[in-house]
Amino acid sequence: MLSKTTFVALMLIASVAFSLDLVSPAVRDVKNGDVIDIGTIGPGQTVLLLIDPRAATGGIHGQGGLYDEALVGDLPRGWTSQNSKLYQNPLMVTISADPDSPEGNYSTRITVIDELNGEQLGNVTFIVKVKITWDVMDSDVSPNYKTTGPGQPARFAIKITNKGSTSDVFQVSAMGAKRWEFVKPVFVPAQSSKTVYYEIVGTEEETYKTTVEVVSLASKNIADSENVTLFVRSDLLGDYKATNSGVIVFPIFEAPIYALAGLLSNIFN
């Protein structure tokens, strides 16, 4: 899936050497037999490699040619991959880790071939190395408690930090909230953070002990959670505080009154 990949651009410039443009780390030259360290990813996540098939030198007339296919070999157990299509431009290869991969270092082999050596370019083989860790995501929920009236939304800010070398989609949900099954997907690029807002609604006057959970679509093993408390009260102060927590439908001429109520409620935090 595109939203869960990291992009690696490879440009072939000779039969034994090509220029590698990584999102991270920086650009460097790679030769036949070299090891390419992609970085850190989580279990179940996918790496996408794009390979320019053009060889600038070598071949029958010494003027280069086109490589025809990129193949993946020597995959770790439980991992999956997809070879490039024949004559694809650029050649596209995907490598997906097992969703239950233990933490550690893993490697696989990529071979870029000249079909039947028709242009006498030879083959180029290199090793792709990745480190698997389950600790590739953190989440933080603010505030940890909220007071609203019955049927009024309590809004929580959720900051998701993706520490890995691949982008991913995470699902935000609330566990333990009665009859509340809202799931919110969030795309977070590699090595970046994103803050989203998640609302919980309580329909009865009581205290809701709820767990806000963030889980990767790539693997349930990439997950984080934090406990929050929602106080649902129908007293006047609770109703005032509710005006700060979501959209309330009211006649337009009453808008200044509700705005003032929300402002005054902040004094009593």
Same domain, 92 and 168: no
Q: Specify if 240 maps to a domain.
A: no
Residue that terminates a domain, selected from 132, 151, 182: 132
**pLDDT score, position 160:** 97
Same domain, 45 and 141: no
Q: Specify if 266 maps to a domain.
A: no
Same domain, 154 and 128: no
Q: How far apart are CA 149 and CA 159, in angstroms?
A: 25
pTM: 0.73
Report the domain count for the chain.
Answer: 2
Structure-model confidence comparison of residues 246 and 69, the more confident one: 69
Same domain, 17 and 124: yes
Same domain, 19 and 124: yes
Closest to 224 measured CA to CA, from 212, 233, 207: 212
Identify residue 215 by its one-letter amino acid code: V
**pLDDT score, position 59:** 64
Same domain, 126 and 8: yes
CB 210 within 8 Å of CB 176: yes
Same domain, 73 and 171: no
Binned at pLDDT 50, 70 and 90, residue 68 comes out as: confident
Confidence check: pLDDT of 192 > 90: yes
Q: Which domain holds residue 72?
A: 2-132
Q: What is the CA radius of gyration of the chain?
A: 26
Indicate which CATH number applies to the domain containing 41: 2.60.40
Indicate which CATH number applies to the domain containing 165: 2.60.40.10
Q: Specify if 246 maps to a domain.
A: no
Binned at pLDDT 50, 70 and 90, residue 122 comes out as: confident
Same domain, 124 and 163: no
Tell me the pLDDT of the chain averaged across its residues: 78
Q: Specify if 264 maps to a domain.
A: no
CB 153 within 8 Å of CB 107: no
Q: Specify if 262 maps to a domain.
A: no
**pLDDT score, position 243:** 55
Q: Specify if 268 maps to a domain.
A: no
Same domain, 29 and 128: yes
For range 178-204, the mean pLDDT: 88
The order of strands in the sheet holding 69-73 is 35-41, 124-132, 104-113, 69-73
**pLDDT score, position 57:** 63
Q: Specify if 92 maps to a domain.
A: yes
Same domain, 125 and 159: no
Same domain, 15 and 127: yes
